[in-house]
Structure 1
Amino acid sequence: MTVKIEAPGGRPRYLQLATTLINEIRSGRYPVGGLLPTEFELCDQFGVSRFTVREAIKQLVLRGMVTRQAGVGSRVLTDAPVTQYTQTMSGITDLRQYAYETSLEIEGQALINVDSELADTLDASPGEVWLHVWGLRYTEAHDAPICLTDTYIAPPFRAVTGISGRMTKAVYAVLEEQFDLQIRTVHQEIRGVVLDKATASRLGSKPGSAGLRLERRYLDARDSLIEFAVSVHPADRFSYRESFRRDWQVPA
């Protein structure tokens, strides 16, 4: 029997397929210790491409539910996803994918006058009026948020619309669409922090526990700052993986 997987609202098919497989593992259809159907069998069952199946299974591997073994197949390790979300990065487009795989619940937004301290961070002048947006990010595998996020949008773009409610689209992608611009560079800084009482309370974590702070600066083709985003993650709910590829030849 073929079950056609659709992708309403622009959500990638492989994420829908991953959710279906997770639910079927939880229900016992694919028991712990057993094998998932082969890639070709899943393609036939769901009416999707092999690429979609591979990406869906990759999501299960990232959640620690499945392991792949050449010549054997995809074996079920557990019927519950691990509690930690891993973000894999190899380029700017992965930031857009991260937004699809998670949801940002916007709690509020306001126009703010930049003070001297924030001006240094934003490379702006005191008195400039930026749009401040804040919220909490969730995944399907977590009841508690994986991070809190504060986003600052530069004055020329502060009238952006659609930054509200539950978002599964990257803020920078919304800015690109509405203002006909292109983000060319993202500077990222990651450092360890200790969660203070207020931050821990919002995240449902223990004050004084370890966290990760990610700062991202989104620049356009003229190297102008369009968006500055700060996310703070509880260390036990988030990890970061980045791929590097050798692009030079080693002398013989």
Structure 2
Amino acid sequence: MSEGTRTTGGHAVLADLLRDEIGGGTYPVGSRFPTEPELQERFGVGRHTIREALKLLAEQGILGRRRKTGTTVLAQRPVAPYVHSLRDLKGLFDFAQSTQLDVRHYGFASSVAKSFESFSGLREGRWLRVAGVRSTRNDQQPLCWSEVFVPEKLAPALEAIQQGDRAIYEVIMDEQGLKLDYVEQEVSATTMPAAMADLLHAGTETAALAVKRRYVANNGQTFELSYNLYPATRYSVRSVIRQRI
């Protein structure tokens, strides 16, 4: 079947063809992708069709597009969204076991009040800040930028954080003899900084979801705060809401 015939179905068909070529190694990850004029000349279709096809591949996390640097191949296959079923505290433990954190920063911050001002009653003082890229364990695809804050007196060592598949709050509970009482969560829509989009292989995607959580022990103490920034198409929360009787 000729390329012209295959692309007569529009941008979706063209996107399928280009996705197959990328998946087959024609354009390796990290390489520059052909320009819009080059693709127009090759396939004999209009500029709009080319742009819509590239937009679709960018939304799937396969291509990254920048005005000054052009189009780059980010992945061989679409980045699947992470669906977080959050019915109870077990859902948080499942999240920790199905993802992993590549620590890029381990140090102390003087205050967190401004970043977590929606959570009342936070104490002043130094907090340990652990930050990095969180990826899914099954395919190693980047999922979000993650930051965790722990009061200085409860701060675990970096070695303890990097061992096994436990979440940081689990490490703290074990070391400090704490029991988790509840988790307060806030999800908000925001924009994705260009540098962060590059780090997460998010292409031109600018919409993002910010998820903030506060972990509170049964003694009323806040022992962890977390901030996760997701490209909007990579994360969704699934909840069950029941009628109270």
Pick the TM interval, shorter chain.
Answer: 0.5 to 0.7
- Cα 1:124–1:118 change in 2 (3 A) is farther
Equivalent residue number for residue 56 of structure 1: none
Is 1:188 matched with 2:185?
Answer: yes
Distance apart, 1:222 and its partner CA:
2.5
Change (3 A) 1:234 1:166: farther
Note closer, same or farther for the CA distance 1:167–1:200 as it changes in structure 2 (3 Å cut): farther
- Of 95, 101, 105, which residue of structure 2 is paired with 1:98? 95
| RMSD over aligned Cα atoms | 2.5
Q: Is the 8 A contact 2:213 2:227 kept in 1?
A: yes
Runs of 4 or more, structure 1, over 6 Å off, are: none
2:176 to 176, 179, 182: 179
1:113 and 2:95 are equivalent in the alignment: no
List per-residue Cα deviations over 1:173-209 (Å, max 9, x = no partner): 1111111001101000001111012221221223562
Gaps of 5+ in 1: 1-79
Deviation per CA, 1:91-113, whole angstroms, max 9, x where unpaired? 11210111111112222210222
Contact in 2 for aligned 1:189/1:214 (Cα 8 Å) = yes
Compare CA radii of gyration and give the structure with the larger one.
Answer: 2
Letter in 2 for 1:124: R
Which TM-score applies when normalising by structure 1? Answer: 0.59
Separation (CA, whole Å) in 2 of partners of 1:159 and 1:99 = 17
User: Is the CA contact (8 Å cut-off) linking 1:104 and 1:168 kept in structure 2?
Assistant: no
Q: Which aligned pairs between 1:1-252 and structure 2 lie closer than 5 A?
A: 83-114=80-111, 117-118=114-115, 120=117, 123-125=122-124, 128-160=125-157, 162-165=159-162, 168-207=165-204, 209-248=206-245
Q: For the residues of structure 2 that align with 1:236 and 1:119, how far apart are their CA atoms?
A: 24
Alpha-carbon contact 2:107-2:130 (below 8 Å) kept: yes
Instruction: Provide the TM-score with structure 2 as the length reference.
Output: 0.61
Query: Residue 168 of structure 1 aligns to a residue in which SS?
Result: coil
Q: Which structure's relative contact order is higher, taking Cα pairs within 8 Å and 6+ residues apart?
A: 2
Count of matched residue pairs: 167
Q: C-alpha deviations, 1:140-171, integer Å up to 9, x for none?
A: 45453111101100122024454444752111
Distance 1:139 1:115, change over 3 A: closer
Bigger mean CA deviation after superposition, 157-166 or 201-210: 157-166
CA contact (8 A) 2:207 2:231 kept: yes
Query: How far 1:245 sits from its partner (Å)?
Result: 2.5
